[in-house]
Amino acid sequence: MRPKKPMLRALAGERLPVPPVWLMRQAGRYLPEYRAVRAQAGSFLDLCYRPELAAEVTLQPIRRYGFDAAILFADILLVPQALGAELRFAEGEGPRLSTVTGAGDLARLKPAGAIHERLGPVYETVARVAAELPPETALIGFAGAPWTVATYMIAGRGTPDQAPARMLLYRDPATFDALIERITDATILYLSRQIEAGAESVKLFDSWAGALPGPLFGRYCIEPARRIVAAIRAAHPSVPVIGFPRGAGGGYAAFAAATGVDCCALDAAVDPAWAAAEIQPRLCVQGNLDPLLLVAGGTALDAATRACVEAFSGGPHVFNLGHGITPDAAPANVERMLAAIRG
């Protein structure tokens, strides 16, 4: 039976006259109602682990804008924390983790199957949101891709060029490969449990895929994603998977062809004409408006939004940004973007 929700119809390969739309980081600091709940929570991690508050911020942009999909409010670094890494968020500086720089650090991590004890509140959030969403709105679960999660676990923080992760890969490939394996196994279990709790699609965020040198892109971006997609499809054959290898450039085509994803999310640097010719004939594409346009607004936003819709009008398309909405985006500009999409 064809799924009736517009988001799921597009992910199944259907071309719709008006593309479904949601935004990466649509629950976030640009919304005053989010900031109020964030202050109530006390800390970012407390917000992630309090299901009543995490569900509330997940639902806020649906109430305000009527997006076609909600995405679970959580963070990609909850998985390493569930594996035993120490995690905190330094105000104004981002995440800080204990590091994995050798076999001894890896040995101290928990097995993949132990993650559920820590992540129970996340699954409760999924169930709460699934119960409260409008019937036409889809629910997306997500996780960070193994390479991207590994970069944080190795460096202990975000880095400009992911050099610490690449250095461990070169100097100690056995430890690096074992870490990727552990994250991959945990990610499969994590996404499967989100689906069991009510997620109707899942997304894999490989935010630092573009930092992988060419020969390593296939091994550490494509291959773990292929394994995850295959496992999800075996356990949950009706649940579509979205992949986002940000910064992959020409590697997007290989990623779309080799991983088995149902939809390939595109960053803002990808030429829509190229993606429409090389990727969209094979599967749904998602994206790829420049997030800065939701700060700039005006006729530039109108024109770029319409151009994106038109560029992908020949096949299945989910309208989204090329990366997450920024804290300085104007809520009114989101409304303006939606008006340009939906007429």
Q: Just list the catalytic residues.
A: 25, 29, 38, 75, 152
CA distance 240 to 264: 11
Q: Identify the bridge partners of residue 69 per DSSP, sorted by sequence position.
A: 138
> Coil, strand or helix: which one is 180?
helix
Place of tokens 């196994």: 185
**Mutual angle of helices 251-259 and 223-235, in 10-degree steps:** 30
Burial of 195 (0-12, 13-18, 19+ CB in 10 A): buried
Q: Identify the H or E element spanning 322.
A: none
Q: Which two tokens stand for residue 45?
A: 């991690």
Q: Is the dihedral of CA 103, 108, 113, 115 positive or negative?
A: negative
Distance CA 126, CA 191 (A): 11
Query: How far apart are the C-alpha atoms of 98 and 155, rounded to whole Å?
Result: 9
DSSP annotation string for 100-138? --SHHHHHTSPPGGGTHHHHHHHHHHHHHHHHHS-TT-E
**Cβ neighbourhood burial of 11 (10 Å; 0-12, 13-18, 19+):** buried
Residue 14: which residues within 8 A CB-CB, separation 6 or more? 2, 316
Residue 178 contacts by C-beta under 8 Å, 6 or more apart in sequence? 103, 106
